[in-house]
Amino acid sequence: MLSDEDPRFLNLEKEHWKKTLLHAGIFALSKKRFEKLFNDLTDTAVLSEKNKTTALNQSENPETFLNHWLVRPHKGRYESFYVTLSEEQKQLLKDKAIHALSKQIHQTGAKRTLFLLLDFHHAFKEGEALWYKFTMTQTTITREEKQFMHSFIITAPEMATPLLIHTIEWHVEMRSREHYLMAAFYLDQLNGCLNHEEFQSVLSVLNHRFSKLKGFREVIRHYTR
């Protein structure tokens, strides 16, 4: 069997291309032009393979991947790359990605991707700190942050309870119908995390603290009947 680098193999390839071009109706192709065309095609194929190899080599390196990925972070691309790594590389990628995105958290896209990664990794401790520092200084909470909170509550309800209470208070302090409804929603979540006595105790504190906010009292009145 002839190798790709054997001159006889290249000659056979040339003959194949000649027949192909003739069949396509290209009859007036000089030998010089044909040689140039064949060499150009060969060089292009070799370059393409080199580029593929380079891309694969780069993708094996978490540092290189992050340098490119952080330009436009996307959870799907991150997950696809993450699953190909060793456990040590996974930890390195996770730590560096969360750290880098935390520095870009004031950018909406970066913040959304960050909370998706925190949810993906169940990095609740890191997410809780960022929630206190950034989420509760905004006027709205993104869908990705809500998804993170949901996973936090489901996975670690006891750990999530303090953050949940603060989030309820934050929504009430926004003093809008939409935020009151979100406060009521999270009260339902809190009710599932605490026993009856604990929940009633929290509810009593909230009622006392926000006793002058009629809108909030109306939203949660079914809890106080």
CA gap 69, 89 in Å, rounded: 16
Burial class (CB in 10 A: 0-12, 13-18, 19+), 75: middle
Domain assignment present for 10? yes
Domain region containing 31: 1-58
CA gap 168, 182 in Å, rounded: 8
88 — pLDDT class (breaks 50, 70, 90): very high
138 — pLDDT class (breaks 50, 70, 90): confident
Domain assignment present for 16? yes
Domain assignment present for 193? no
Domain assignment present for 38? yes
Phi and psi torsions of 137, nearest 5°: -110, 0
Number of structural domains, the chain? 1
**Is the predicted pLDDT of residue 55 greater than 50, yes or no?**
no
Average pLDDT over residues 7-23: 63
Between residues 55 and 87, the one the model is more confident about? 87
Domain assignment present for 11? yes
Domain assignment present for 20? yes
- pLDDT in the model for residue 47: 46
Between residues 94 and 59, the one the model is more confident about? 94
Domain assignment present for 215? no
**Cβ atoms of residues 62 and 89 within 8 Å:** yes
Domain assignment present for 132? no
